Amino acid sequence: MRLTIFVPALRGGGAERTVALLAGEWARRGHQVAVVTMEAPRPDDYLLPAPVSRVVIGGFGDSPSRAAAIAANVRRARALAQHLRAFRPDALVTFLDTANIVGLVGARLARVPIVMTLRNDPRMYQLRAPWGRLRRLALPRAHVVVSQTAAVTQWVRALAPRVNALTIPNAAHVPGPSSDASDAAIPFSKRKHVVAAGTITRQKGFDILIEAFARIARYHHDWDLVILGSGRRDEVDALDRLIRERKLEDRVILAGRRTHVAADFRRCDIFVLSSRWEGFPNVLLEAMACGLPAVAFNCPSGPKEIVRHGVDGFLVPPEDAGHLAEGLAALMRDDGKRAQMAGRAADVLERFSIEKTMQQWDEAIAMALSTAGRAS
């Protein structure tokens, strides 16, 4: 089988990591796979195995006006269609909103079945005009729409009752080094560590996390907080100010962007997910795969499908610094409970195995081919 995966870029992110994993697994199973991006591979964060073709159609980035944006997206769709006509894949799989919409046009031009994937939780964020309207128009026209959680799949079915809507969670695996594994060592103290990871944005709720840690830090002198991730300068500066205001300069480490998080996770003791919303967070799977018990906000989708409350972690009410502090403190003060949950955390490698995930993706491709055949 021949497959094309279309994603805007392969920079750091959960969708991009899933693209690299899918492409590698399909190639390992003997399929011919091409990964098409708008951005050139120079800043790629995820390595693709040699059998996978890497194709760049250009056009990555913002446009200066709406007219320029329309023209750029027409060029992207035509360039994608040109690739599809040359490569002749059995199906196109698209990731992220822009690629879903541009990909639909390219797939229609080239007469290729399309599987769209929704990442994150589309109920929780607004796309800039006209992308929100285009997303609503595009989803019903896909042959299959793949979501990460049942809640989002239900949202898709309400929006597009006739579309084939499937739920496929991310696969759990222990992350290896990406394209540049030259991380400088984090100055870990000899104390224990709570670790969080993700792009520094409002969504990730690191401001709530710092507030929660401030409430319990004085009672747990042998614990520090490490936040792995980068973001816009103003977002990082806001966290820096909050850390100073709470007098936590010696207790909270903003470690910046990391390319080999597994090594960092293994030097820590608890993982915390403070997101205001999520899709199906890869970073939570990865931390648990490394044997870390988790404390996570029970946001509208994602964490509750992964964390088994009281078994391998705690789920606490979303956006609630007090309950987050209580959940962390419960594990920080109880070595036995923490060790017990750590021993169960790596069950995610079996619960969300790559083999199970790939079987579901193969079923999605088969459904797209069947649906396209009936429509032709």
DSSP string of 67-86?
A: HHHHHHHHHHHHHHHHHHHH
Q: 11, 29, 290: which is closest to 20 by C-alpha?
A: 11
In the prediction, which pLDDT does 180 show? 47
165: CB partners within 8 A, 6+ apart: 144, 145, 147, 153, 156, 157
In the prediction, which pLDDT does 292 show? 98
Instruction: Give ranges for CATH 3.40.50.2000 in the chain.
Output: 2-171+353-375, 192-351
In the prediction, which pLDDT does 186 show? 78
In the prediction, which pLDDT does 96 show? 93
- 93 bridge partner residues: 5, 115
User: Are the C-beta atoms of 210 and 243 separated by less than 8 Å?
Assistant: yes
In the prediction, which pLDDT does 306 show? 98
Of 72-81, 105-114, 184-193, highest mean pLDDT: 105-114
- The first and second tokens of residue 211, run together, are 């507030």
In the prediction, which pLDDT does 3 show? 98
CATH architecture of the domain 2-171+353-375 equals 3-Layer(aba) Sandwich (3.40)
Query: Does the pLDDT at position 65 exceed 80?
Result: no
Query: Does the pLDDT at position 132 exceed 70?
Result: yes
Domain 192-351 CATH class label: alpha beta
**Per-residue model confidence as pLDDT tens digits over 6-31:** 999 998 788 998 999 999 999 999 99
